[in-house]
Amino acid sequence: MRELVTRVRDTLCVERREAELIVAALLDRPRFSVYFNEPIDDRARTLLVMKVAQLKQGVPIEYITNRTQFLDYQLCVHPGVFIPRTETEYFVELIIKKTKRPPDSILDVGTGTGAISIALAHAFPSSTIIATDISENALTCARTNIARYRLIQRIHLVRTDMLKGLAAPFDLIVSNPPYVPRSRLHSLPKSVKYYEPLIALNGGEDGTKFTKVLIENSVPVMKDRGCIAIEIDEEAESDLTDYLKTNTCLHYSFKKDLFQKSRYVFLEKR
Ligand code: GLN
């Protein structure tokens, strides 16, 4: 396997250490095992070479290995389902920190892999969660992940557009909706714009289309003293401030991500 590492290093123009990690991830083995003198059969070798070619084209490694890490959780992910980002890991941490009373009921709009719901289910062991998505593909993936963490009894998946048809009042409504402004879609990295689902990224004209729909439709289904937490585009703060001032009487605060970009809005009904 030693020569496979060299080959991957040269094909992808990466450092040896990265090549070791890639070979290990693609073969689903520990990193040190790439230096074992184990023979690798022809079929496995061909498969690996094909996977390396996909990587070279820009396919995200998560779609090739069909897994991704989200906080402490190993999640399954496949093409057509949005790969959860570091920003959303931090989003979950902020939600947990800001939530004073453990919520009885949580709604996660546009759950994708189910990442946010799974992390919140662990943080709030007494909560019941409803997680929605419009994509059957995403729900299939979320179902696998929820089953893996034995949360089927607590996280209920619903196929719907945003929160259409949901009536129960919630203590906490969370979402990472599509929020990239249409004009910026073309400047996303190749691996994102060609391989990840556009439906999970395209936030309309100025990136706030779904955020506004979410706010408008959340207010009637949120409990008094309930909270809404939404991940947003880094340039959306002023537009959303105007919207919130004119259309709602919610108390709001914007929070920055780990790169100091305005990335989250927290809304409370007081
Ligand atoms: N932060 C994501 C990206 O830039 C976009 C996430 C989203 O639209 N929800 O790839």
What is the Å distance from ligand 1's center to 84 Cα? Answer: 9
CATH 3.50.50.60 fits 67-269, yes or no: no
For the chain, percent of residues with pLDDT exceeding 70: 100
Q: Tell which phi-psi region holds residue 161, choosing left (phi > 0), alpha (psi between -120 and 50) or beta.
A: beta
- What is the domain partition of the chain in residue ranges? 2-57, 67-269
Strand order across the beta sheet in which 155-159 lies: 155-159, 128-133, 105-109, 170-175, 222-231, 262-268, 251-256
Handedness of CA 123, 129, 135, 137 (dihedral sign): positive
Q: DSSP characters for 154-193?
A: TEEEEE-STTTT--S-EEEEEE----B-GGGGGGS-HHHH
Handedness of CA 165, 245, 185, 82 (dihedral sign): negative
> pLDDT tens, 15-72?
999 999 999 999 888 888 888 877 788 888 899 999 999 999 999 999 999 999 999 9
Return d(Cα 180, Cα 202) in angstroms, integer: 5
Using alpha carbons, list the distances in angstroms from residue 245 to 181, 241, 249, 252.
Answer: 22, 6, 7, 9
Which ligand 1 atom is nearest residue 180's CA? 8
> pLDDT tens, 72-97?
999 999 999 999 999 999 999 999 99
Cβ(234) to ligand 1 under 6 A? no
pLDDT for the residue 198: 95
Which ligand 1 atom is nearest residue 88's CA? 1
Kindly give, in sequence order, each residue whose CB lies less than 8 Å from that of residue 147, ignoring residues fewer than 6 positions away: none
Residue 105 Cα to chain centre, angstroms = 21
- Return the minimum-mean-pLDDT range out of 2-6, 106-110, 255-259: 2-6
204 C-beta neighbours (distance < 10 Å), count: 16
- Rounded to two decimals, the pTM is 0.94
Q: Which of 68, 77, 83, 85 to mutate to test the pocket of ligand 1 (most atoms within 8 A of CB)?
A: 85
pLDDT at 270 over 80: no
